[in-house]
């Protein structure tokens, strides 16, 4: 494998990871930056342009108290300035409302068509495939003890403080 392919694979992997952080931290611009401006997304119950997807997904995300996306297997096949990528993941969705559709765990795959434009790898088209889903029972939750740092669903999350610190040091 040549160095250019390795660099492309790493750039593609970084986009997949940034997307998940953007979704979980509700960072709309971070998610937007993962797609080319003319990108599309098909999430099963939604299919459309990246701008339409952002409106849909952030309206949906607002119903949850927390989400967390874990992505494990990320495999990209690179052909010049085009690539396909299959990413396996598990997503946790939690709401105060006990409704089953708001408290679920899903196994999924992202099937992405990537393109490199002006040296920048981004998603040109995404298809999300649901493999399985299960309900999280609110009665089984354990309350996080007071005093422990918890994740935030915005740029006040501890990650962003670290990022700002890093930016000040460079």
CA angle 103, 71, 117 (to 5 degrees): 120
Integer Cα distance of 97 and 160 in angstroms = 28
pLDDT tens track for 59-74: 999 999 999 999 999 9
Task: Among 3.40.50.300, 3.10.450.50, 1.10.10.10, 3.90.79.10, name the CATH number for the domain at 3-169.
Answer: 3.10.450.50
Q: Where are the domains of the chain?
A: 3-169
What is the bridge-based pairing of β-strands 66-79 and 47-49? unpaired
Residue 137, judged by CB atoms within 10 A of its CB (0-12, 13-18, 19+), counts as exposed
pLDDT at 139 over 80: no
**What per-residue confidence (pLDDT) applies to 99?**
82
pLDDT tens track for 98-125: 888 888 999 999 999 999 999 999 999 9
Two tokens, residue 131? 């493999």
**Continuous segment of H or E residues that includes residue 60:** helix 50-61
Distance of CA 152 to the CA centre of its chain: 15
Q: Using 50, 70 and 90 to split pLDDT, how confident is the model at 137?
A: confident
Integer Cα distance of 170 and 166 in angstroms = 6
Q: How many CB atoms lie within 10 A of CB 23?
A: 21
Whether residue 61 contacts residue 148, with contact meaning beta carbons closer than 8 Å, is answered with: no
Strand order in the sheet with 104-117: 47-49, 35-42, 120-135, 104-117, 82-94, 66-79
138 φ, ψ (degrees, to nearest 5): -55, -30
């Amino acid at each position: 494998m040549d160095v250019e392919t390795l660099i492309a694979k790493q750039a593609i992997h970084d986009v997949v990871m940034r997307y998940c952080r953007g979704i979980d931290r509700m960072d709309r611009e971070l998610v937007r930056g993962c797609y080319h401006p003319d990108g599309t997304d098909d999430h099963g119950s939604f299919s459309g342009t990246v701008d339409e997807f952002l409106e849909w997904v952030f309206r949906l995300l607002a119903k949850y108290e927390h989400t967390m996306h874990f992505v494990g297997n990320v495999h990209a096949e690179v052909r010049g300035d085009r690539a396909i990528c299959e990413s396996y993941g598990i997503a946790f969705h939690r709401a105060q409302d006990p409704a089953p559709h708001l408290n679920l765990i899903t196994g999924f795959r992202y099937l992405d068509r990537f393109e490199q434009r002006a040296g920048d790898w981004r998603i040109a088209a995404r298809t999300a495939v649901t493999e399985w889903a299960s309900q999280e029972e609110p009665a089984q939750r354990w309350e996080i003890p007071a005093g422990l740092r918890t994740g935030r669903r915005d740029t006040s999350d501890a990650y962003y403080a670290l990022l700002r610190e890093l930016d000040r040091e460079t």
